[in-house]
Structure 1
Amino acid sequence: MKKLLSIVVPCYNEEEATPIFYKTIHEMEAELASVDLEFVFVDDGSRDNTLKVLKGLHQQDERVHYVSFSRNFGKEAGIYAGLEKAKGDYVVIMDVDLQDPPSMLPKMLSEIENGEYECVSTRRVDRKGEPPIRSWFARKFYKIMNKISSADIVDGARDYQMMTRKVVNAILSMGEYNRFSKGIFGWVGFKRKWLEFENVERVAGETKWSFWKLFIYAIDGIVAFSTAPLTLASVFGSIMCLVAFLFIIVIIVRTLIFGDPTSGWPSMVCIILLVSGIQLLCLGIQGQYMAKTYLETKKRPIYLVQEEE
């Protein structure tokens, strides 16, 4: 009996790309003949006709299933919902815009079926087509994350990966509200193989990730998998206390020698502004962790379903 491969596809305003994605996978089914296929599309509260397209695909192919959210909950929620819905022995997560090359699926499946690996992940080796400043920040983010966290996050890592049921269950067991999938994938471990590919442009539509959204996403990742910023805040505080103590000594000595305690006020104003800035930075760092803890304690659902099939 063949094993089942579930293809999890988060979608947000992707009415143009969705039919192209389905057609592309359908045309290469012969290369995936060793398994049966299941499509799990997650409509993340799209405002276009994405849901209508998914319903049409379901009517023409009973292997196509979908989950439609009551509103936009984000890609992280979409991935989690797709993994929950998937019934496959193997599960692969893919972007509907075909920036995750379907041509890699046979190789990924072969590596999984050999039994040597529990997970086959992918990474981009270049960022052609991206703004240079965005690529620079992305590379720095991965370097920082690997230095300050216990999660194994490779530069250029994608959500595009194929996993055994054991890995999927491990990921689902992490039911945290504030999710950062790249970190979760690395944190759960298991024997993993990396496949590389060159950047591919979207087949249709426009990216939903602005620089600001990526920046917030990066902060979420750092807060979710590292307490290093809190340590940094403590270090800043200790350094500034030491600097303040040294300045007190300098002022006392200067007053005793020159008898002019009021001169130098411009530099003092700059010092006050610097210290105040560092204090606000440290408070902001602590606030981020408190906010995440606050959201976790509410125990809100990761997503709400409007309809599914």
Structure 2
Amino acid sequence: MKKISIVIPAHNEEGNIVLIYDAVARVFASLNYTFEIIFVNDGSTDDTQNVLEKLSKLHPEIKTIEFSRNFGHQPAVKAGLDLADGDAVISMDADLQHPAELIPTLIAKWEEGYDVVYTIRKYPKQISMFKRKSSSLYYRFLTAISDVDMSEGGGSDFRLMDAAVVRVMRNMNESDIFLRGLTHWMGFRQTGLRFTAGQRVSGQSSYNLKKMMRFAFTGITAFSVKPLYLAAYLGFIFSAFAAVGYGIYVINSFVDGTEISGWASLIMTVVFFGGVQLIMLGIIGIYLGKIFKQVKDRPNYIIRSKNF
């Protein structure tokens, strides 16, 4: 029988571990496939590791990876992909927002010949309108400024990848991993499935506004250099405006014999252009920072222990 690997990153998910295992096990009880579940403990500070160790002793199909510290969601998924040996690998979150009931459909699409089956998240009604719209606008913006079409399917790490795709993914050694973009960038034969995200059963999401903003910048800078071109274009545009404005001032001074006063507007202009310059320097700094981290070639994660 073919083997399916399930990769589940977990950060402070002690209350969800048993629930997500039970949900996945119930699904595979009716499928003609063997399976393994690779839990990646991403530096949890609660009892997640103890729960995983106890559960793995009861169920041999459970494999555990423990990080030396919290490295983040994307490196945790990457670690699971690096060590999975199934004919296909499914990545999903431990908070039960990714429904295990969709796994048979993912596998069916894979058996039809698709190498990657990604999912397109639909938020439930209780999720705020701001969250829905901002997520949609972000991936449209990312598609517009990069060479990767992520207008659909970009907002979820719930996907199935064929073993051939996973082997390619293992060779990706980027310092700032953005798996959602890499999956689309690699190509292969892909299709998408829509699903409605479930409710988190236990614990709280570790994705605060700061982490989401950082994740957004990672996605933008990982697949596009257009922000750098934007900085150059804005420089030319503002220089042209300045030249035209100064020309108007000189002509007015000669024709009317008066000078244009406006100390406040001058200060505002200086502050505005100073802010624009800082923004452009910030964009350049982000790219330089990514180069700095990449050339050091440090690993994306460090494994403290594993049971296989």
Q: Give the drift of 1:254.
A: 2.3
Task: Provide the residue aligned with 1:153 in structure 2.
Answer: 150
Contact map agreement 2:95 2:201 (CA 8 A) in 1: yes
Deviation sequence 1:121-169 (CA, Å, 0-9, x none): 1111335332322222111101101111122324453111111101111
Q: In 1, Cα distance between the equivalents of 2:126 and 2:222?
A: 29
Q: Which residue number corresponds to residue 230 of structure 1?
A: 228
SS of corresponding position for 1:92: strand
Amino acid at match of 2:289: A
| 1:24 corresponding residue in structure 2 | 23
Aligned partners of 2:248, 2:274: CA distance in 1, in Å?
21
Q: Size of the alignment, in residue pairs?
A: 306
Q: 1:121 and 1:90 mapped to 2: Cα distance? A: 13
Dislocated runs of 4+, deviation >4 Å: none
The superposition leaves residues 239-263 of structure 1 with CA deviations (integer Å, 9 ceiling, x where unpaired) of 1110111122122112223434361
Q: Distance in 1 between matches of 2:183 and 2:121?
A: 16
2:170, 2:110 → 1: CA distance?
A: 20
CA distance in 2, matches of 1:272, 1:299: 41
Residues 246-287 of structure 1, C-alpha deviations (whole Å, 9 max, x = no match):
122122112223434361222222211111111111111111
- Tell me what 2:69 maps to: 71
The amino acid that maps onto 1:23 is D
In the alignment, the residues of structure 2 paired with residue 82 and residue 41 of structure 1 have an alpha-carbon distance, to the nearest angstrom, of: 8
**Partner of residue 266, structure 1:** 264
Question: Which of 79, 82, 85 matches 1:84?
Answer: 82
Match of 1:257 in 2: 255
**Separation in 2 of the partners of 1:120 and 1:154?**
15
- Partners of 1:129 and 1:206 in 2: how far apart? 16
1:48 CA displacement: 0.3
Instruction: Give, as a single letter, the amino acid of the residue that structure 1 aligns with 2:64.
Output: Y
- Kept after mapping to 1: 8 A contact 2:27/2:104: no
Q: Which amino acid aligns with 2:17?
A: T
Name the counterpart of 1:14.
Answer: 13
CA distance in 1: counterparts of 2:191 and 2:289, whole angstroms: 35
Corresponding position of 2:219: 221
- Could you say what secondary structure the match of 1:302 adopts? coil
Name the counterpart of 1:165.
163
Aligned to 2:182: 184
Identify the match of residue 58 of structure 1 among 53, 56, 61: 56
1:135 partnered with 2:132: yes
Range that drifts further, 121-130 or 10-19: 121-130
Q: Which range is displaced more, 249-258 or 73-82? A: 249-258
State the 1:29 CA deviation: 2.1
1:47, distance to aligned residue in structure 2 (A): 0.2
Across the aligned residues of Structure 1 and Structure 2, the Cα RMSD in angstroms comes to 1.4
In the alignment, residue 282 of structure 2 is paired with which amino acid?
G
CA contact (8 A) 1:177 1:296 kept: yes
AA aligned to 2:186 is V
Secondary structure at 1:129's aligned position in 2?
Answer: coil
Shift of 1:41: 0.5
State which of 278, 281, 284 in structure 1 corresponds to 2:282: 284
User: Which whole-Å CA distance do the structure 2 matches of 1:294 and 1:280 have between them?
Assistant: 20
Query: Which one-letter code corresponds to 1:304 in the other structure?
Result: I
Q: Paired residue for 2:301, among 286, 300, 303?
A: 303
* Distance in 1 separating the partners of 2:46 and 2:54: 14
Residue in 2 that maps onto 1:123? 120
Amino acid at match of 1:283: L
Asked if the contact 1:128–1:199 (Cα under 8 Å) also holds between the matched residues in 2, the reply is: no
